[in-house]
Structure 1
Amino acid sequence: MAAPTARDRLADVTSHTNDPTLYRSPADAIAAPPERLAYVVGFDRSARRPDALFTIGTDPASPSYGRVLSRVDAPHLGDELHHFGWNACSSALAHQGHHHAERRHLIVPGLRSSRLYVFDTRPDPVRPRLVKVVEAGELAERAGYSRPHTLHCGPDGVFLSCLGGADGRDGPGGIALLSHDGTEVLRAWETDRGPQRLAYDVWWHLRHNTAVTSEWGTPSMIEDGLDPELLLGRAYGHALHFWELDSGRHLQRVDLGDEHQMVLELRPAHNPQAAWGFAGVVVSAVDLSASVWLWYRETTGSFAVRKVITIPAEPAKPEDLPPALQPFTAVPPLVTDINLSVDDHWLYVSAWGTGELLQYDVSDPFRPRRTASVRLGGITGRAPHPTAPRSPLSGGPQMVELSRDGRRVYLSNSLYGSWDDQFYPDGIEPWLIKLDADTARGGLAVDPRFFPHGAEFAGLRVHQTRLQGGDASSDSYCYI
């Protein structure tokens, strides 16, 4: 009997799942019905109140549009809920051992506590239920890591990037592998980590059996805000690492140059045949600019990088700046998030420092073309929301999430508690803002009807957003 083909395996797995939000291809994801709910995590900087998972209405035809519909509190204090994600995504259609796959559980790490909270969105997606708490000790004992940061549904389970080592060690950071439902820590993913020590994000090219990781810093390097000595000493992460996905073996380190400090978000092409993607760099130690880099596979099979976007710092008067920036007399853009549309056409770049969201046409990824930008908040500009033109916004566009069809862009404004305090010392008043994107010619417009903020989040600072049915940064695809 002939060995099963990829299509046979897909048919087998598909027969065991009835979740319509697991999509065969990027085109299927784009054509699916729009999200009706968004999920947002919030945290209490003082650690005197519990952090929470909020559900927001996103159906413009509903009276609950732009409103907080529910809130479920974490049972502990001081977690600082940060990045989170689904237990299953579209690539589960080709994952062996992932039968009965459902995009059901939201796995929410506490970046300070090292706990993992698992919320079940069934049977009522408006009111998720906390069904499991994975304590820091289990993460440390089984995987050797702490300070969980980013997670993605992967081939062998859920991949969870972590900044720190176990037992209070300051690294090396790496990747813990969780069960497919996110309720159990299995092991460390790496089998040979090579020179990799600093950690941040993880993504992959499934068809090419290649994983990619990026670098921020160890817990002590980020805990109390940006350390000027570490920045000027070029000690933060400045490299990408490439791995063999199925074995966890390190293959290649590509250095962007130690000027380029903090290589954070990774956004690989959604086209499963492609082997390129974008990485955001927070700041240059030379001129405070920020940048976006393209990684790509050369004909030799090795990976290379190229800087394709540079965003300069903006001059400012010292008296208008927080103390940390006064010696520089400039506002750094601080690119802290990027997002790539599912059709691989549009790239969104959050400049949290200057308070700007930028849109680029990346139909030619080697030559991005800026097509639009919107100002909201910012360290000095404090641009307002159009519904409250006399009320400057605090914070700036930070985490950016994009709907599957690319038409809706969601922005939140908190980075990390200690970094918020450093760059926005007057405080961060929470907000979630939606933009409408022109996916034909390019362009952005703020939706005046969608603006949950302030008391609606009970004063908790909000970080990442996930969308019902998946979003541009949740899924990877195996088929075209």
Structure 2
Amino acid sequence: MALWKPDPTFYASPREAVKAPPETLAYVAAFDRAAAKPDAIAVLDVDPASDSYGSVVGWAELPNLGDELHHFGWNACSSALCPYAPHPHVERRYLIVPGLRSSRIYVLDTKDDPKKPSIVKTVEPEELAARAGYSRPHTVHCGPEGLYVTNLGGADGADGPGGIALLDHTSFEVLGRWEVDRGPQHLAYDAWWHIAHDVLITSEWGTPSMVEDGVVGELLLGRKYGHALHFFDLRKRTHVQTVDLGDEHQMVLELRPAHDPTRLYGFAGVVVSVEDLSASVWLWHRDGDRWAARKVITIPAEPADAADLPPVIKPFGAVPPLVTDIDLSVDDKWLYVSCWGTGELKRYDVSDPFHPVEAGSVRIGGIVRRTPHPAAPDLPLAGGPQMVEVSRDGRRVYVTNSLYGAWDDQFYPDGVGAWMAKLDSTPDGFAFDERFFPHGDDFRGLRPHQTRLQGGDASSDSYCYP
């Protein structure tokens, strides 16, 4: 009798994930802003013992133009070990890669040759629209019932509402719209969960027309972008509660729940306050029988000479931090906060999530400073730490510099360039790895955006056992 053995990269608990072997490959979504050549998945060697460490060692070019690859994910992860999971036999082998502008979703197989992912299926925008009523797929998360794909737009030209489409684990067909009752949510962005408690949380950015060409000043100052968190019953797929952070806090983006399934809290990043250009991080938590949120980190804007600023922020005479990504280590101790505008990556000790303590900072890029990488001190860099990914053991942190084509052009109008960096993180320090700096032509003229690590990472998996 054959016995099913779970994928060895599935971990029952965060503790087991932390003890797992380190990654040797990283997959990076890279896109062509001009849509003149195809986007691609770049494969990087992240094994320090390898002769090709820090180099692009594989390249999977996509067949179409203008996809603008965004937040991709694995087809399956540690959530497949949950007691009620119907698919404990699936493997972590496929990358599910959405095109934010094209509304296509690509499925790439990494099993036969991890350095040469191959396309095995393409979900066309017509299927996503017909079966789920959505467009503009943004973020992919693997759950026990299937693949959750958040979307910014509606179908058939509808600007919204955005929401979640569910895809089958094995066929990758679109099963349908996840929400049975979306409640008041209209704007969409990220979704995550407290999986052992049947709670799903969503955040808000804007509809396609609001984000298509970058930040719209009238919408921002009019406080029209998203500023709330929404809580759903994960099993019933129904809206339970809205927590409004205040309309001055514009664009509530990345969500990072605690990995420990017994802990009911998580962090949400807010891009900007229209009152003072600061950015912030909020903690959601239970308050009696309701959900609540409180601001636990505020990062102020940095004064600057208007002559050094791009037109979009020139009238303000300051550089906003623009917190566009956050990532929480698997042991729930360190929160990394990327300040794409100022070119800073901050590390906070969040052992007490209600009282984060800053515990390290590095600078690279930035709208005004253009800080170089230590490996190339004479090379000023544009862009800044944007997407940030943390290894399972928490010792390695990877950052890429491009955010979203339209934002790149607004905030770095002279060109955002292309680079990726790695930092070593220990309780005693937080610093760049000078051996790891792929940049420029290494990405063949494409802009690197999001990173996924072989075998999983801090933002790909959820765990059902403490």
Same fold (TM over 0.5): yes
- What SS does the corresponding residue of 1:448 show, helix, strand or coil? coil
**1:342-357 equivalent positions in 2, closer than 5 A:** 342-357=330-345
Deviations 1:415-454 (A, max 9, x none): 100110000001121111000001x24x311001011111
- What SS does the corresponding residue of 1:327 show, helix, strand or coil? helix
Does the 8 A contact of 1:433 with 1:450 survive in 2?
A: yes
| 1:131 pairs with one of 110, 120, 129 | 120
Deviations 1:379-401 (A, max 9, x none): 00000001111111110000000
TM-score normalised by length of structure 2: 0.98
1:330 paired with 2:309, answer no
CA distance in 1, matches of 2:273, 2:6: 47
Deviations 1:330-382 (A, max 9, x none): 00000000000000000000000000000000000000000100000000000
In the TM superposition, residue 155 of structure 1 has moved relative to its aligned partner by: 2.8
1:462 paired with 2:420, answer no
**1:261-272 equivalent positions in 2, closer than 5 A:** 261-272=250-261
In the TM superposition, residue 18 of structure 1 has moved relative to its aligned partner by: 3.9
| 2:355 pairs with one of 367, 373, 376 | 367
| One-letter identity of the residue aligned with 1:366 | F
In the TM superposition, residue 154 of structure 1 has moved relative to its aligned partner by: 1.1
Deviations 1:2-56 (A, max 9, x none): xxxxxxxxxxxx9523411000110100000000000001100100100001100
Work out the number of aligned pairs and report it: 464
| 1:451 pairs with one of 411, 433, 437 | 437
1:209 paired with 2:195, answer no
Deviations 1:40-83 (A, max 9, x none): 01100100100001100000000011000111111000000011
CA distance in 1, matches of 2:199, 2:133: 23
| One-letter identity of the residue aligned with 1:391 | L
| One-letter identity of the residue aligned with 1:343 | D
**1:312-331 equivalent positions in 2, closer than 5 A:** 312-331=300-319
In the TM superposition, residue 299 of structure 1 has moved relative to its aligned partner by: 2.2
In the TM superposition, residue 97 of structure 1 has moved relative to its aligned partner by: 1.8
1:99 paired with 2:81, answer no
Residue aligning to 2:181 = 192
- What SS does the corresponding residue of 2:70 show, helix, strand or coil? coil
- What SS does the corresponding residue of 2:315 show, helix, strand or coil? helix
| 2:65 pairs with one of 77, 82, 85 | 77
| One-letter identity of the residue aligned with 2:16 | D
- What SS does the corresponding residue of 1:478 show, helix, strand or coil? coil
- What SS does the corresponding residue of 2:410 show, helix, strand or coil? helix
Residue aligning to 1:224 = 213
| One-letter identity of the residue aligned with 2:91 | E
Residue aligning to 1:160 = 149
Residue aligning to 1:117 = 106
| One-letter identity of the residue aligned with 2:307 | E
Farther-moved stretch of structure 1 (276-285 vs 386-395): 386-395
In the TM superposition, residue 124 of structure 1 has moved relative to its aligned partner by: 1.3
1:37 paired with 2:30, answer no
Following TM superposition, the consecutive aligned residue runs of length 4 or more in structure 1 with deviations greater than 6 angstroms are none
Does the 8 A contact of 1:205 with 1:268 survive in 2?
A: yes
Does the 8 A contact of 1:17 with 1:102 survive in 2?
A: no
| One-letter identity of the residue aligned with 1:460 | L
| One-letter identity of the residue aligned with 2:155 | A
Does the 8 A contact of 2:213 with 2:406 survive in 1?
A: yes
Residue aligning to 2:47 = 59
Residue aligning to 1:4 = none
CA distance in 2, matches of 1:288, 1:330: 8
| One-letter identity of the residue aligned with 1:181 | T
CA distance in 2, matches of 1:390, 1:322: 23
Deviations 1:269-297 (A, max 9, x none): 00001110000000001000000000001
CA distance in 2, matches of 1:90, 1:96: 10
Does the 8 A contact of 1:158 with 1:182 survive in 2?
A: no
- What SS does the corresponding residue of 1:236 show, helix, strand or coil? coil
CA distance in 2, matches of 1:413, 1:191: 37
Deviations 1:121-155 (A, max 9, x none): 11111111111111000000000000000010113
In the TM superposition, residue 181 of structure 1 has moved relative to its aligned partner by: 3.2
1:307 paired with 2:295, answer yes
CA distance in 2, matches of 1:194, 1:84: 27
Deviations 1:228-252 (A, max 9, x none): 1101000000000000001110000
List alignment gaps of at least 5 residues for structure 1: 1-13
- What SS does the corresponding residue of 1:231 show, helix, strand or coil? helix
Does the 8 A contact of 1:105 with 1:182 survive in 2?
A: no
CA distance in 1, matches of 2:170, 2:385: 31
1:358 paired with 2:346, answer yes
Residue aligning to 1:288 = 277
CA distance in 2, matches of 1:461, 1:412: 9
CA distance in 2, matches of 1:431, 1:341: 23
1:143 paired with 2:132, answer yes
Does the 8 A contact of 2:163 with 2:188 survive in 1?
A: yes
| One-letter identity of the residue aligned with 1:328 | F
CA distance in 2, matches of 1:399, 1:182: 29
1:431 paired with 2:437, answer no
Q: Percent identity?
A: 68
Does the 8 A contact of 2:71 with 2:138 survive in 1?
A: yes
- What SS does the corresponding residue of 2:5 show, helix, strand or coil? coil
In the TM superposition, residue 99 of structure 1 has moved relative to its aligned partner by: 3.3
- What SS does the corresponding residue of 1:29 show, helix, strand or coil? helix
Does the 8 A contact of 1:107 with 1:182 survive in 2?
A: no
Does the 8 A contact of 1:139 with 1:146 survive in 2?
A: yes
In the TM superposition, residue 205 of structure 1 has moved relative to its aligned partner by: 0.3
| One-letter identity of the residue aligned with 2:167 | L
Residue aligning to 1:3 = none
- What SS does the corresponding residue of 1:364 show, helix, strand or coil? coil
CA distance in 1, matches of 2:202, 2:75: 20
- What SS does the corresponding residue of 2:368 show, helix, strand or coil? coil
- What SS does the corresponding residue of 1:410 show, helix, strand or coil? strand
TM-score normalised by length of structure 1: 0.96
| 2:160 pairs with one of 155, 171, 177 | 171
